[in-house]
């Protein structure tokens, strides 16, 4: 929180995270902390598979990994979180603790997520799914602007949705993603589906992008003759394309932050998101997205 303390947030309440100094709504995929209790670490043996895991903890002690993987993670301070991502062989992983190790977590995933507290067994935190399901009057059906001020965490394991406006299905939608497919994972892209047809896919960030803050603005106009999309990231217009027109078979009624109707849950912090029913000019979009 704002004071730097780790706090619990009840279900169905937005988690406002201050890890990067500014408040952001935290969006994370489902994860499970395999270690318990989480508050004070003790030497343990855990069965693992041959997928990527991430170990994290606070403190000045160390955790030595042996068996299915060999390595050491050393703490750097009581208020500092250290992490180690690794891929073990399938089998038993021994985690030997020495010194001060607190709030530790072992999760299957490419990076550490926020602390999942445990006491007497492993605990799973559900994915963050943020949606407005009755938003047709807020969405520009033929013209609009989507803006996201986003703390990106590199998504190199699967598609992670940043924002989606859709009709509650996969038939009609406009979306911004983080990561798309093998070889292009981590890119920021946009897509336009109309009546189940993928009419537009454009790249706003053409290289696999690191974690960090991104201000993204997508403008669009949909007419009976063509569709135009422009994407601006951190003060630069990176794409301006026209596509063949295909009408939405249903109006767009739903806004999803960090997911598409519960799937493709993103991983990052949202400082500010908004949509407009009008298209910003290029100059306005560049000014808006400049860091």
The Cα–Cα gap between 250 and 119 comes to: 48
Calculate what percentage of the chain has a pLDDT beyond 90. Answer: 76
Residues 6+ apart with CB under 8 A from 138: 132, 255, 275, 277
pLDDT at 45 over 90: yes
Rounded Cα distance, 236 and 228, in Å: 17
pLDDT score recorded for residue 208: 64
**How far is the C-alpha of 244 from the C-alpha of 200, rounded, in Å?**
8
Confidence of residue 20 (pLDDT cuts 50, 70, 90): confident
- 29-39 pLDDT per residue, tens: 999 999 999 99
**What is the total residue count of the chain?**
291
- The whole-number pLDDT of residue 203 equals 74
- pLDDT at position 204 is 75
pTM of the model: 0.89
Q: How does residue 207 score in pLDDT terms, banded at 50, 70 and 90? A: low
Mean pLDDT, rounded, of the chain: 92
- Measured CA to CA, the distance from residue 291 to residue 289 in angstroms comes to 6
Chain centroid to Cα 80, Å, comes to 22
How many CA atoms are closer than 13 Å to the CA of 9, on its beta-carbon side?
16
C-alpha pair distances (Å), 104 with each of 57, 59, 83, 118, 187: 4, 9, 10, 10, 31
What's the pLDDT at 221?
A: 96
Q: What is the pLDDT of residues 138-184, one digit of tens each?
A: 999 999 999 999 998 866 667 789 999 999 999 999 999 887 665 56
Least confident of 23-37, 73-87, 191-205: 191-205
Residue 189's pLDDT band (cuts 50, 70, 90): confident
Secondary structure E strands in 142-235 = 143-152, 160-166, 173-178, 188-194, 197-203, 212-222, 226-233
Cα 45 from Cα 91, distance rounded (Å): 10
Question: What's the pLDDT score for residue 18?
Answer: 93
d(CA 180, CA 159): 5
Read off the pLDDT of each residue in 51-70 and give the average, rounded to a whole number.
97
**b/e per residue 144-177 (b: at least 16 CB within 10 A):** bbbbbbbbbbbbebebbbbbbbbbeeeebbbbbb
Question: CA 182, 183, 189, 195: dihedral to nearest 10 degrees?
Answer: -40
pLDDT tens track for 91-135: 999 999 999 999 999 999 988 999 999 999 999 999 999 999 999
Average pLDDT, stretch 62-82?
97
At 111 the three-state DSSP class reads coil
Please classify residue 12 by burial: count the beta carbons closer than 10 Å to its beta carbon, then call 0-12 exposed, 13-18 middle and 19+ buried: exposed
In 10 A of CB 289, how many CB atoms?
A: 22
pLDDT above 90 for 245: no
pLDDT of residue 206: 65
């Amino acid at each position: 929180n704002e004071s730097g303390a780790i706090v619990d947030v009840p279900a169905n309440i937005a988690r406002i995270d201050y890890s990067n100094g500014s408040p952001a709504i935290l969006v994370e995929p489902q994860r499970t902390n395999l270690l318990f209790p989480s508050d004070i670490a003790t030497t343990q043996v855990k069965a693992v598979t041959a997928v990527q895991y991430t170990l994290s903890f606070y403190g000045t002690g160390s955790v030595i990994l042996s068996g299915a993987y060999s390595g050491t993670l050393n703490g750097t301070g009581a208020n500092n979180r250290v992490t180690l991502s690794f891929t073990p062989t399938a089998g038993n992983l021994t985690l030997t603790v020495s010194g001060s190790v607190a709030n530790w977590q072992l999760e299957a995933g490419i990076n550490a997520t926020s602390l999942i507290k445990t006491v007497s067994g492993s605990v799973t935190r559900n994915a963050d799914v943020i949606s407005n399901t009755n938003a047709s009057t807020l969405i520009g059906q033929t013209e609009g602007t989507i803006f996201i001020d986003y703390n990106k965490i590199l998504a190199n394991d699967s598609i992670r949705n940043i924002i989606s406006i859709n009709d509650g299905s996969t038939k009609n939608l406009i979306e911004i993603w983080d990561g798309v497919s093998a070889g292009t994972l981590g890119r920021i892209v946009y897509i336009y589906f109309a009546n189940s047809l993928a009419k537009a896919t454009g790249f706003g960030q053409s290289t696999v992008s690191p974690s960090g803050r991104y201000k993204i603005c997508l403008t669009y106009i949909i007419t009976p003759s063509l569709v135009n999309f422009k994407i601006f990231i951190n003060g630069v217009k990176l794409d301006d394309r026209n596509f063949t027109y295909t009408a939405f078979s249903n109006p767009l009624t739903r806004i999803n932050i960090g997911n598409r109707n519960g799937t493709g849950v993103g991983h990052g912090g949202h400082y500010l998101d908004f949509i407009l029913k009008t298209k910003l000019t290029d100059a306005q979009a560049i000014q808006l997205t400049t860091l």
